[in-house]
Amino acid sequence: MSVEMMDDLGGPDMPSGGARKRLSGKKMVLFAIILVVVLGAGGAFFMLGGTDGIMHMVKGDSGAAESAPAEKGKANQVTYYDLPDILVNLRTDTARPTFLKLTVSLEIEKPEDRAEIDRLLPRVIDTFQVYLRELRAEQLQGSAGLFRLREELLARVNAAVRPTRVNDVLFKEMLVQ
């Protein structure tokens, strides 16, 4: 091909020598926005369970009508057990004490489990207090700290009330002072 033909094919924007023109800032921003939208849509598709989740979202139903009757009965039986307020002093390196006040509810599957937790309540409180007294205020900061605290308390309460099962530990109030 001759140089004249290359100029005709490349147009006036194409510099000679065959090098391509770089994308402008507006085009790069537009490309980035399109990429974010496509990735976000793919993530939403995945999180909503593929086409079934999308169809439920479009129809406006939550998919609860398709759940098995056993799951409906199980959801109705969830009971909450409120523990008494827990007040402990946290571990510090200074002379000034730091206190933690914690109000917790336990999520249990069956209302009949309340009697068993009542019977073992001193063991649950003791387990919580021993663990909480070893914590530092820095360990309770942020959502990661609260998540770790919830997981630790859940493991400890399940060990204390075994064979009864506690599904979750719910924070009603948490104050570090």
CA–CA distance, 85 with 93 (Å, rounded to integer): 25
Tell how far CA 92 is from the center of its chain. Answer: 29
Structure confidence at residue 43 as a pLDDT band (50, 70, 90): confident
Which of 43, 66, 89 marks a domain boundary? Answer: 66
Tokens for 159, please give them: 């060990």
| Same-domain status, 41 and 85 | no
CA–CA distance, 126 with 91 (Å, rounded to integer): 17
Q: Tell me the whole-structure pTM to 2 decimals.
A: 0.56
Give how many domains the chain has, as a whole number: 2
| Same-domain status, 158 and 83 | yes
| Same-domain status, 83 and 143 | yes
Cα-based distances in Å from 32 to 25, 38, 40, 74, 176:
11, 10, 12, 46, 43
Q: Which residue has the tokens 């530092």?
A: 136
Domain that residue 47 falls in? 3-66
CA–CA distance, 88 with 29 (Å, rounded to integer): 53
Determine the pLDDT at residue 86: 94
CA–CA distance, 42 with 54 (Å, rounded to integer): 11
The H-assigned helical ranges of 18-173 are 25-47, 50-59, 69-76, 113-119, 121-133, 142-160
pLDDT over threshold 90, residue 29: no
Determine the pLDDT at residue 157: 95
pLDDT over threshold 70, residue 56: no
* Amino acid making up residue 32: A
Tokens for 112, please give them: 């009949």
Determine the pLDDT at residue 40: 79
Q: Mean pLDDT throughout 139-155?
A: 92
Cα-based distances in Å from 161 to 13, 62, 64, 120:
76, 35, 32, 6
| Same-domain status, 46 and 98 | no
Q: Mean pLDDT throughout 107-116?
A: 91
Determine the pLDDT at residue 77: 75
| Same-domain status, 62 and 96 | no
Tell how far CA 6 is from the center of its chain. Answer: 57
